[in-house]
Amino acid sequence: MTTKPLRVAVLGIGWWSDVLADACQRSSLFDIATCYTRSPDKRAAFAEKYKCAQADSYEAILADPSIEAIINTTPNNVHLETTRQAAEAGKHVFLDKPIANTVAEGMEIARVCEQAGVVLALGYQRRRETHFRWIKNEIDAGRFGKLVQAEGNISRDRLGKIDLSSWRYQASGMPGGVMLQIGIHYVDVLEFLMGPVKRVSGMSNRLVLPGDNPDVANLILEHENGAISNLTASYASASEYYMMNIYGKEATAYYDLFNGLRHLKRGETKATPVKTEANDAIREELDEFVECVRNGTKPETGGVWASRNLAVIKAGVRSAREGRAIDVAEILKSGE
């Protein structure tokens, strides 16, 4: 049975909207019908590139009964209002991470979409990469035994590459800096693999980039099962780098960008390479969104998950500020 393409509007046009639109075009499940951003030039360029219409206002999109869903890449601080409007108009929403700048707003986004009966999916594509799926399958099969520790690093070189006028690089627009912007991907992966985090110790600093936001950060995460994870995020490294090591009592998995995935069982002295095929993780998360809309199922990363994921980051931000470990429950209660 062929799934009917989802007729979508793209809201908020920047470099990531193009990444998502490119992924939509690699799929057979999307019809990019129209777009809107406040800049006429950006709107026209996007419409030309993706051969879609350009709306005069967001309200015009919401009033169009043929538009089924919104792909929302607006700044974090307007996620709540733009998503609330979409939900009230009966439009499903694919929302770029993080869900919001505060946990309270994230939970409200989840609530309004649930109340309206629309699908809300968050863009966390890293967890879908085949090396992490392989590790997850091994953990679920019990072959890692008791999970004890993990290490992660997600780093990019942004020196000379940032626009300080962009909300993405300002403390007001992206509070928490590099850890909120890219580190949250690996917080998601760590909770996906190791289980929920209950306590966080954090440190951060601005060492290389201009502006007012941390470009290096580190979190020590205590999971509910007792395992301890260490996560580093950086915009100050010499190159792009991703790493994730997962340690269990019976097995360990080592992944990094340049050497791929390796696996070591208890008693072995040399890690064995694991062949995993590269996959189109962004297209897959978008395809799942369509399937949820069509079948009434729930996405892997919905609003409540994303809000709790955000709470881990915010616990790290408070920890760095106050110099103490912070329970995630504190952040969930305060809604900060």
Per domain, the residue ranges of the chain are 6-125+283-302, 130-278
Q: What is the pLDDT of residues 193-226, one digit of tens each?
A: 999 999 999 999 999 988 899 999 999 999 999 9
CATH superfamily of the domain spanning 6-125+283-302: NAD(P)-binding Rossmann-like Domain (3.40.50.720)
| Residue 195 backbone phi and psi in degrees, to 5 | 100, 170
How many C-alpha atoms does 143 have within 13 Å on its Cβ side? 11
Torsion angle of the four alpha carbons 14, 19, 22, 27, in this order, in degrees rounded to the nearest 10: -130
CB contact at 8 A, 328 and 199 = yes
pLDDT given for residue 186 in this prediction: 98
**pLDDT grade, residue 25 (50/70/90)?**
very high
User: How confident is the model over 46-73, as a mean pLDDT?
Assistant: 98
CB contact at 8 A, 151 and 280 = no
| The pLDDT of residue 1 is above 60 | no
pTM above 0.75, yes or no: yes
How many C-alpha atoms does 37 have within 13 Å on its Cβ side? 22
CATH superfamily of the domain spanning 130-278: Dihydrodipicolinate Reductase; domain 2 (3.30.360.10)
Beta bridge partners of 31: 7
Which helix (H) or strand (E) segment holds residue 142: the answer is none
pLDDT given for residue 3 in this prediction: 80
3-state DSSP assignment of residue 66? coil
| The pLDDT of residue 2 is above 80 | no
Give me the chain's average pLDDT, please. 96
CB contact at 8 A, 34 and 8 = no
| The pLDDT of residue 241 is above 60 | yes
pLDDT given for residue 200 in this prediction: 98
| First and final C-alpha spacing in the chain | 45
| The pLDDT of residue 240 is above 60 | yes
In this structure, the number of other CB atoms found within 10 A of the CB of residue 51 comes to 8
